[in-house]
């Protein structure tokens, strides 16, 4: 256990595509046991931030540490739910097989999953309401069901730090409720979860902390303090329309 270290610490992170900065000099520390919403306009670098932290894309500058060490040394502590559209759903595999993939980090390369891993995977499917679909091909599932399968896979990893890239996009109300229930369960277990999120009207309801991002870090901290009209206007600029100007609720259009 490395409790003295933050779950995620990023220092001076810059990422560029074709010499154009997508993220510029990002520095922050995340406290343990929080649900953190990452918000900002399209093209702000939200998904890029997650991919850079996980080493999926190269960094121009900067350091990323997971509980005080590089990600490659801490893979077992990290769970990742990618954007649904980035996955090849035609790959011929069952829902149960997808969830069992979450156990590979605990097994090592040459050990095949056994009855214990199968039981853990089934329990994770049960938690997301998908136990009855264990044998179903993933291509035959609806978008919301596919998202639940990926959440179950992340659960099966039994990580301490989770990255989720737009898990609420394109899902029905029942799946959204299932996801937020799951996030709160992870929080109760002391886990830390970072979520790329678009629906600004639910940010204060769903998250403890919020990260405001638009190429540069515009702010990070408790949602009750940081999620204000002024900070949102600064983050979104002309792309933000305030639909409700009361201080206790901010319903916005930010596309």
pLDDT of the residue at 109: 53
CA 11/CA 213 separation, integer angstroms: 15
Q: Averaged over 149-157, what is the pLDDT? A: 89
Structure confidence by residue, pLDDT tens digits, 82-130: 887 777 767 788 999 889 888 766 555 555 666 788 898 999 999 888 9
Both tokens of 163, joined, read: 């990255």
Of 199, 193, 96, nearest to 148 by C-alpha is: 96
CA 143/CA 17 separation, integer angstroms: 30
Domains located in the chain, CATH noted? 1-31+39-67+161-172+197-254 (3.40.50.300)
| C-alpha distances in Å from residue 105, one per residue of 12, 29, 38, 180 | 29, 25, 26, 25
Both tokens of 176, joined, read: 């959204």
* Local structure of 18: helix, strand or coil: coil
Query: Structure pTM?
Result: 0.87
């Amino acid at each position: 256990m490395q409790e003295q270290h933050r779950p995620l610490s990023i220092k001076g992170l810059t990422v560029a595509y074709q010499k154009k900065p997508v993220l510029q000099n990002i520095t922050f520390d995340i406290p343990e046991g929080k649900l953190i919403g990452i918000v900002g306009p399209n093209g702000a670098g939200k998904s890029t931030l997650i991919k850079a932290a996980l080493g999926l894309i190269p960094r121009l500058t900067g350091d990323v540490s997971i509980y005080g060490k590089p990600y490659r040394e801490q893979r077992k502590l990290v769970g990742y739910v990618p954007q649904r559209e980035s996955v090849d759903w035609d790959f011929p595999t069952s829902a149960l097989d997808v969830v069992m993939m979450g156990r590979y980090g605990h097994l090592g390369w040459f050990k095949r999953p056994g009855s214990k891993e199968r039981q853990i995977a089934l329990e994770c499917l049960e938690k997301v309401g998908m136990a009855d679909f264990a044998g179903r091909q993933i291509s035959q599932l609806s978008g919301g069901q596919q998202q639940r399968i990926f959440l179950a896979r992340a659960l099966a990893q039994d990580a301490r730090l989770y990255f989720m890239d737009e898990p609420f996009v394109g899902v029905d109300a029942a799946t959204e409720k299932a996801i937020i229930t799951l996030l709160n369960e992870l929080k109760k277990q002391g886990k830390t979860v970072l979520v790329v999120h678009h629906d600004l009207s639910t940010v204060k309801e769903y998250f403890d902390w919020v990260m405001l991002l638009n190429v540069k870090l515009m702010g990070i901290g408790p949602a009750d303090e940081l999620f204000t009209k002024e900070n949102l206007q600064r983050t979104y600029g002309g792309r933000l329309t305030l639909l409700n100007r009361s201080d206790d609720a901010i319903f916005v259009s930010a596309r």
